[in-house]
Amino acid sequence: MGNLRQVVGDCYISIGLDKRKCYAGKYKLCVRFTLNRRVLYWHLGALLTPAEFEEVRRIEVAKGQKGRISKKAAMRTHWSELLDNYAKRVNDIACIQPLSLDAIRAVLYGKGMVWKNLFAIWEDYASGKKPGTKVIYLNALKDFRSFSGYRAEDGFLITAKTVNDWKKRMEEHGYSNTTICMRLQTLRIIVNLCIKEGLMQMSQNMFSNLSKDKVLLPVGKSRNHMNLTVDQWRILYDRFVKDNYPNTWTSKRKSIAKKVVGIFLGMYLGNGMNFVDLARLRYDDYYLLNKGEAFLFYRTKTRDRTVSPNGIVVPIIPELRTVIREIGVPYEKNGLVFPFILQGARTEAEQRHEIAKWHSINNQYLKMVAKEMMGLDVSLSETWARHSFATVLSHAEVPTDYISESMGHSLNKSITHKYIGRISLEKAKAYNALLLKNEKEIVETILKMDDRCFHIVNTNP
């Protein structure tokens, strides 16, 4: 295990230091290709002293080793994996053409062979993601293909200029800062992956907010303004219950608006849940065990990395029960609460299609609701429900821990916190009742509430 060298044909490939130039006693770590007494150095982005290099090189890493390993042992393993990767690439060249340093150099820079390029890496990485995340990556890739000027035959020769040209084109097409930032962050993940696999050099990383020669990631706009007041929510709720819609609207428009406003209220009163979670909300065992007084759900957005292993509890206050009665369906074991959204769709793809249709309808109608029912000159959207939930309860001086836990945000990652039970359902109902109460009612409610915020209560089904 002491040597870091492989041979492919007449080409010797090794991990070492490029000692042609010294940097304060350190040298660049590199992959060295030696063929016909000529040498090609491919730098890996790290600087090490000869002593540091030798210390890592001489580490013996046992195969199948378990448990915690040292940082240097992990580095030694990484070097070995990189060497295998480069040897395979040289072997691929040898299979289709005579070996030469020019041919190796062309492949290292992504030219000459199109068996692997940035597009291929991007698509392969996206294919391993959840459907929703996969769409985000593929949409970013589609934009990059259209706007950046990068071609597959360019391989991994991608520069800050290429990315900044893409960024400029997105700005010209009216993309928001938030969307542009998401697109660029997607590319940054792919670039870091290419660097990790040795397909690009560390110096090729074009992202940094510290250098004018690099690509700067824009900052998305603050969403602090995206919330309605308690009084505005109460007005909307009252008009929903009384079917009080503008007389100029057709019966069809009123019927759709009824569902849209009900969905919007359901998201707000349901702990600011996302629309996709509302669409998939069910009358499950938790609902039954709590005698129809609460729902339990897991956020779709973070279900693979949830910070709330016990799920999120939604207390069913009277107003939420009214919303369910108006646009939902009565209890049926494991049945959907709002089945009209998914329309019986079973597969993930079919459900996403139905949800996407309602996303469009919701945001279209919410703009009309804001202007024609509430007299507001704002671009109302589903997002306002979640921001309003947090803002209204915060202004009512509800404990931050409750707001965070109710929204599925991280609270405390200590072991102790995992043994603390949920807040009592009655107190959760009292907090959520503040979502539709004016300032006077809020003060009176708070005065009546117990000073304690959390109780050790077992709510696991």
Longest dimension (CA), the chain: 88
What domains appear along the chain, each with residue ranges and CATH number?
5-61+69-108 (no CATH), 118-204 (1.10.150), 230-448 (1.10.443)
Instruction: Measure the CA dihedral 343/292/402/267, to 10°.
Output: 30
Per-residue pLDDT of the chain (461 residues; tens, 9 = 90+): 446 899 998 999 999 999 999 999 999 999 999 998 899 999 887 899 999 999 998 886 554 455 556 888 888 888 988 899 899 889 888 887 778 887 888 788 765 544 467 888 898 888 888 777 888 899 999 999 888 888 776 667 788 888 989 989 998 988 888 888 889 999 999 988 887 776 777 777 888 766 777 888 765 554 556 789 999 999 999 999 999 999 999 999 999 999 999 999 999 999 999 999 999 999 999 999 999 999 999 888 765 544 445 689 999 999 999 999 999 999 999 999 999 999 998 888 888 889 989 999 999 999 999 999 999 888 899 999 999 999 999 988 899 889 988 988 655 444 434 434 567 899 999 999 999 987 666 656 655 654 443 333 333 33
Please answer whether residues 67 and 46 qualify as being in contact, where contact means their C-beta atoms are separated by less than 8 angstroms. Answer: no
Q: How many whole angstroms separate alpha carbon 54 and alpha carbon 2?
A: 9
Place of tokens 């309602």: 358
Please tell me whether the overall predicted TM-score, pTM, comes out greater than 0.95 for this model. Answer: no
Q: How many whole angstroms separate alpha carbon 104 and alpha carbon 348?
A: 44
Orientation angle between helical segments 131-147 and 177-196, nearest 10 degrees:
90
Q: How many whole angstroms separate alpha carbon 369 and alpha carbon 410?
A: 33
Taking Cα atoms as reference points, which of 74, 73, 107 lies closest to residue 90? Answer: 107
